[in-house]
Structure 1
Amino acid sequence: MKRTWTGLLQLLLGLFIVSGCAQHPGEDRPVPNPVTLKFMHMGVSSDGRDNNRYVMQLFPTMVEDRFTDIRIATEMLPEDAYTKSMLMQLSAGKGPDFFEWWPMRQLEGLARAGYLQDLTGMEILKAFSPDALEGFTVDGRVYGLPKGFSMMGAWYNKELLERYGVRDWPKDWDSFLALCETLKQAGVTPIIMPDKDWWFLQFGLYPLAASVVYPGDPDFDKRLLDGTQTFTGSKWRDVLNMYKLLYDRGYIRAGSLETGEAQAAAWFNDGKAAMIFGGNWDYGSLTRTGDVPFGRGFMPLPGNAPGAPLILSVGPAGGTVINKNTGNLPEVLDVMAYQFSPSSPLYREFKLQYQVFPAFKGEDVGIAEFEEYAALMQSNESVVFSNQAWPVGVAETLCTGFQDWIAGKGDADAILAAMDRTLERLRGT
């Protein structure tokens, strides 16, 4: 699934919904019985810190200020608990009125099970570009409102790298390893990672896979799903061994399995580590001023061999979907239209939280840290994040298996075999 992402930078989000749904400024509406909408979002880290002030505080408060007859009850859970809780609720015909979910393959299961509201043809979709809606389209029907795109890579401390003579970001895997060795020999922690939460391991693995697995086999994931390909015996073994090498050589700080997201971000922001793997969604948490101010950069983690093309890891971002069983569809659409209206104060706060996702037609990313990466997106091919092509559950098997390997149990072959067993169980669901 290679592509360039010029089209995706032309996103245009919906501004209005069907007449009669949205409240207009200055219009008084009676409030005999306020409607309470339940909204759920993944993102509370395992160390107990709420990492999304927008969802937990600003979103409900500002919606209630705008719509006197609507209340928002929000909840956040760590990713694994979030997924399991949501699937249990939806299968029982319950769940929140609307919630955040992942695109592509991870969306397909919910849509085909009949859990999601079909938004096809609704006025709110008319201003979205086809590229924006692609990740939330299943069998030609649209089931969600996308934020835009996400890109995985490495956040890095520019001043720290320049101090040790590194002014150009590594162009291949060998030069990246050389950078890490230079930093380690100078007594600098090359990389800090919060591996206490399994999903952070994806942020190193998928960028490597983009340049290792898919260039010679762009249909790898399709063949996984139709049963003609397995993880065992594939180039995913190379990816796992490459990433484990960073731990074996001490390039990723020891104790990562006991390190949570907030602790790792603080370590990076205080200038105690040169790099941390993540995505553009980390802008808010990884650009806070720590003990020593410094400039940040964000670039791809290069898994390519010298002379081979660098393939980027870029995919559609998550978005908002609506429960098919909500009894409050007009009110949910009111809230979504308000959030996506560029003139609303809610949209401004939304942009502060998710500002790294271009939202409106002609809108640039507008963030200096992403300029170099965005330039590469115009020239280099990319593949979507691997988990976006897999059934929900395969990525967790991958990452929890890797956690075990870091802890001294198992190896690459054991992880791949476990992924095959999980895929076999989930294939077709």
Structure 2
Amino acid sequence: MKRCLVLIATAVLITGCGGGGGGGGSTAPQQSGSAAKVTLEWWHLSTTEPLKSLWAQRAKEFEAKNPNVTIKATVLENDAYKAKLTTITQSGKAPDLFATWGGGVLKQQVDAGLVKDISSDVADVLPNFTPAALSAYQIDGKTYGLPTDIGLVGFWYNKKLFAKAGITQPPATWSAFLEDVKKLKAAGVTPIALAGKEKWPGHYYWAYLAMRIAGLDALKQAAVDHDFTKPDFVAAGQQVKALADLQPFQKGFLGAGYGTPDGQAATVANGKAAMELMGQWAPSVQKDAGKGLGDDLGFFPFPAVEGGKGSISDAFGGGGGLAVGADAPAEAVQFVKFMTEMDNHSKAVAAGGVLPVLKGEENAVKDPNLKQVATALAAAGGYQLYLDQAYPPAVGQQVNDSVAELIAGTKTPEEVGKAITEVAKSEG
């Protein structure tokens, strides 16, 4: 997912500090011709432009500065990436460099001794990053990766299709959102595209509704007491069911992928659905998978839920980062620092591939929709990492599976809470 996706990603924001950024000049040391040959295995999931080409270019530049280093990239789509990384880490190994969303998944890898503590190696550049961007990769006071992206999930919509349905402005409340879904259907427009086959896009709805109804503190408490059966979590499920009962998704959504030619992103990009709930990478994936909407593409944050404990300013999402395998050579850490230098990283920001993670980088954002995302992040009162990354892997997978069953009508809101709780308690 892409998440990151496409990510490439995964978390938030932007403050000012000028000049310089990642340490000034290349942090990758010049190597003499007699230096030992090193091959770095780099796994990432930037399968779409502009990052696909930008990351390949960064690798070539690093190799030019360090003639003894060869970077071998393995680039996989989101689900394939997660599956392959899980397989290799379960065998007790990790790539030299690999994309991570941080959170509970990274912590499990750290606990297994698979990830290098790079705290001392990157101490000189840590002040260059925004605290929110760094937070997902810092565990118990130590740093296990550097961020390459940050952002939030929201609704990407087709302005022309909204106008066709008589919707003059994006909904600010959940009840208004449900009414707009009905208006779109009445106008003969498929309201929402969803990649039901991949499950993780569906969990965004339950997670956001839990945030809006129960509040951020409740999600953090659930990570401690492993209890997702509380009334507010059930209420979140009931609202997901209320949406699903309107049959808002495209035909065949249960078997649809995300970035495929007939998947979620393409359905929106080709004008066959009015909106999708997705992260900041959505515009680039839409362009890659379909025609793209150009000026007709708009963005609005997930609506507030009337009477809920959460604030509409609370953001849900993540970013992407680079972690280093425990047995990786020193050059791997140097490459991570090279990738996140101001001059290098800001090119990816300017191209619309990622959002700022470095202080003073916000001016590089050119796309008006991404500027809106960056502004929302800047005003965020709280931040929640994707639940399938914030919680241990088995718990996150159960969230995805249970919400998918809820949307498909094979599990009740109460059963969703019970299923997640059972796995959380067994893992806890």
State the TM-score, normalized to the length of structure 2: 0.82
Residue-by-residue CA offset, 1:197-250 (whole Å, 9 max, x unaligned):
121112323222221121xxx4323432333x5112332222222223322212
Q: Which residue of 2 aligns with 1:70?
A: 69
Q: CA deviation at 1:84?
A: 5.0
Cα 1:277–1:51 shift into 2, 3 Å:
farther
Residue-by-residue CA offset, 1:243-274 (whole Å, 9 max, x unaligned):
23322212122311111112222221111211
Give the distance between the partners of 1:404 and 1:66, measured in 2 at CA: 51
Partner SS state of residue 208, structure 1: helix
Q: Which residue of 1 aligns with 2:217?
A: 219
Q: Which residue of 2 aligns with 1:15?
A: 23
Partner SS state of residue 72, structure 1: strand
Give the distance between the partners of 1:291 and 1:386, measured in 2 at CA: 26
| 1:203–1:279 CA contact under 8 A, matched in 2 | no
Q: Which residue of 2 aligns with 1:259?
A: 256
Q: Which residue of 2 aligns with 1:235?
A: 232
Q: CA deviation at 1:73?
A: 1.7
CA RMSD between the two structures: 3.3
Residue of 35, 38, 43 corresponding to 1:35: 38
Q: CA deviation at 1:144?
A: 0.9
Q: Which residue of 1 aligns with 2:4?
A: none
Cα 1:183–1:341 shift into 2, 3 Å:
same
Say whether 1:201 aligns with 2:202: yes
Give the distance between the partners of 1:375 and 1:342, measured in 2 at CA: 20
Cα 1:153–1:249 shift into 2, 3 Å:
same
Partner SS state of residue 321, structure 1: strand
Letter in 2 for 1:22: P
Q: Which residue of 1 aligns with 2:6?
A: none
Residue-by-residue CA offset, 1:153-199 (whole Å, 9 max, x unaligned):
11001122123332321110111111111111010111111121121
> After the TM superposition, which residues 261-300 of structure 1 pair with which residues of structure 2 at under 5 Å, given as runs?
261=258, 262=260, 263=262, 264-287=264-287, 290=291, 294-300=295-301
Say whether 1:249 aligns with 2:250: no
Identity of aligned residues (%): 23
> After the TM superposition, which residues 252-401 of structure 1 pair with which residues of structure 2 at under 5 Å, given as runs?
252-261=249-258, 262=260, 263=262, 264-287=264-287, 290=291, 294-305=295-306, 309-326=311-328, 328-329=329-330, 331-344=331-344, 348-349=347-348, 352=351, 354-364=353-363, 365-379=365-379, 381-387=381-387, 388-401=389-402
Range 199-208 or range 148-157, more displaced: 199-208
Partner SS state of residue 190, structure 1: coil
State the TM-score, normalized to the length of structure 1: 0.82
Q: CA deviation at 1:10?
A: 4.6
| 2:153–2:280 CA contact under 8 A, matched in 1 | yes
Range 94-103 or range 351-360, more displaced: 351-360
Say whether 1:104 aligns with 2:103: yes
Structure 2's unaligned 5+ residue stretches are 1-10
Give the distance between the partners of 1:294 and 1:279, measured in 2 at CA: 18
Cα 1:52–1:368 shift into 2, 3 Å:
closer
Structure 1's unaligned 5+ residue stretches are none
Q: Which residue of 2 aligns with 1:177?
A: 178
Give the distance between the partners of 2:12 and 2:277, measured in 1 at CA: 24
Q: Which residue of 2 aligns with 1:117?
A: 116
Cα 1:9–1:248 shift into 2, 3 Å:
farther
Paired residues in the alignment total 407
Q: CA deviation at 1:380?
A: 5.3
